[in-house]
Every structure is written in C-alpha cells, then in structure tokens.
Structure 1
C-alpha cells in the first residue's frame, strides 16, 4: 500500500514554490543520471559532479528526469563517511519561477530547443521536404 494521499499532495505542493533563500551548504544542481537505489549523479554550478541520495519522502512520489534541477544539501551527509556528497532536499518542478530567484546559478542558462543558426536560408525548420518531380 502506498503512502497516504495527503502526504503525497503535501510533498508535491512543497516542491512547487521556491524558498526565499538557500541555507548554507545548499546548492542548485542539474541531474546527470540516476545510478540506482535512489542515488543520483548531479552536476554542481562549479562543474563538479557528486552522488546524492533521494530521501524517502520523495521516493515513488516525484520522478526526476535527466537534465532537471534539484536543491542539494552538501552538509547533510558529512557524518557518514561514504561516497555520497549530499542529499536532495527539494526538487525544482516550476523551473520558470525558480529561475527568477536571486540564488539561481548563472552557470545554468536556459537552453533553446531550436538549433542555433545564423543562416536563415540553410534552415529546413518549417519547410516541406524537396520533391522528386523536378527530374521529370
């Protein structure tokens, strides 16, 4: 049996709005990949990658994709002496609202979905494929 619905909804509601400020030791990181057993490899703004753990309250409630952003507490797991560099304390779900926060790292710029091209004539975006009738 899964967790009660009120706990699932409370966790989901908590991740929608960004906090006013991040505490010491907390950083926003980009998820590189899921390594298994609720352990994720994330990239910090300083371009270093660490392994972080997903706490039980987020498991089976909110799914994390590659390229999404999370808030990591790097001081949470210091007493443990293992390979983990931190713990996920929040998940960025409304990225547009989070990007407006003053603590959002400048290293994580918004990437465009369209290919960057200076030559408008070479672009085939929105055009029909060439027809084969020109040979006849």
Structure 2
C-alpha cells in the first residue's frame, strides 16, 4: 500500500462518524506531552494518574496529536512503563457527542471562569522588558498647550 493510499484510509477512519462508546477496557485520556519514539504521556480521568501510551503503526507519520488532545486508549496488561495503546483520536464532534450522551469525564469539562477584579488589574505590571516612560500629567498638559 502506498503512503498516499495509507494516509487516505487513516484520515477517513479518524473523520468517520464512529461515535461508539469506549468499551470496558478502554478509557478517555488527555495528552499531556510527547515523549518521543511515538510515546505520549497522558492523564487519566480516573484518579488523575499519569502514564505512557504508544501510538500504533497506522497512525505514525500520518497523524499528529498535540498537548491537550483527547484520545481513547486500550490498556495493555503486560505493560510496565507503557500501559496502553491509542485506539482512536477524538475530534470536537466526538467530544460533543460523548458529552451529550453523558459519558464524557467530568474532570475534562471546560469550565473556565474569567472574572476580573480590580485586584487583578493592580497586580499587572506590564512588560518588564521595556523601559517605562514616567510622564506626569503636568508635563503632558504643558506640552499640549504649546
């Protein structure tokens, strides 16, 4: 199978509207970082523990995942360091469907409150790499009148 044909099949599999739920030995995890050699460190919703997962051969050099993406992994019983293998890479449509079905882990929900208060603005120091010009109001008003 040529590289182009393989890429086409892998992309089709990822974009396929397969919204099947994870089985008993599968779980939804979040990618924390890439460790090289097709290994990724992930964070589990169950207990929030971290472990390594491997990317299967069909995804290598065809699909890139980055920090913050979600995947479904299947546990490897004999794994010491690498404890699971990636089964499916989740897209935004998968996440919406899983949330609607109620199987999305509560630990991974995106609830961010951006409440600004005056205290937050007082602690803002600006760019420390630039010189600040202290212009008093009297100097600026006298230069404007001239």
Q: TM-score normalised by the shorter chain: which range applies?
A: 0.7 to 0.9
Aligned to 2:44: 44
Deviations 1:40-62 (A, max 9, x none): 11001020111111001000111
Q: Partners of 1:6 and 1:63 in 2: how far apart?
A: 17
Q: Partners of 2:49 and 2:79 in 1: how far apart?
A: 19
Please state how far the C-alpha of 1:100 moved relative to its aligned partner: 2.3
Q: Which has the higher contact order (CA 8 A, sep 6+)?
A: 1
Aligned to 1:7: 6
Q: 1:109 to 1:84 in 2, by over 3 A?
A: same
Count of matched residue pairs = 122
- Which of these two proteins has the greater Rg computed from alpha carbons? 2
Unaligned runs of 5+ in 1: 124-131
SS at match of 1:15: helix
Q: Partners of 2:2 and 2:74 in 1: how far apart?
A: 25
The root-mean-square deviation of aligned C-alpha atoms, in Å, is 2.7
Please state how far the C-alpha of 1:95 moved relative to its aligned partner: 1.6
Q: Partners of 2:30 and 2:87 in 1: how far apart?
A: 14
Contact kept? 1:18, 1:98, Cα under 8 Å: no
2:88 matches 1:87:
no
Q: Partners of 1:7 and 1:108 in 2: how far apart?
A: 32
Q: Under a length normalisation based on structure 2, what TM-score does the superposition of the two structures give?
A: 0.70
Aligned to 2:114: 116
SS at match of 2:8: helix
Q: Under a length normalisation based on structure 1, what TM-score does the superposition of the two structures give?
A: 0.75
Runs of 4+ in 1 over 6 A off after TM superposition: none
Please state how far the C-alpha of 1:117 moved relative to its aligned partner: 1.5
* 1:1-136 equivalence runs, <5 A: 3-16=2-15, 17-46=17-46, 47-74=48-75, 77-78=76-77, 80-92=78-90, 94-101=91-98, 102=101, 103-110=103-110, 112=112, 116-119=114-117, 134=137, 135-136=139-140
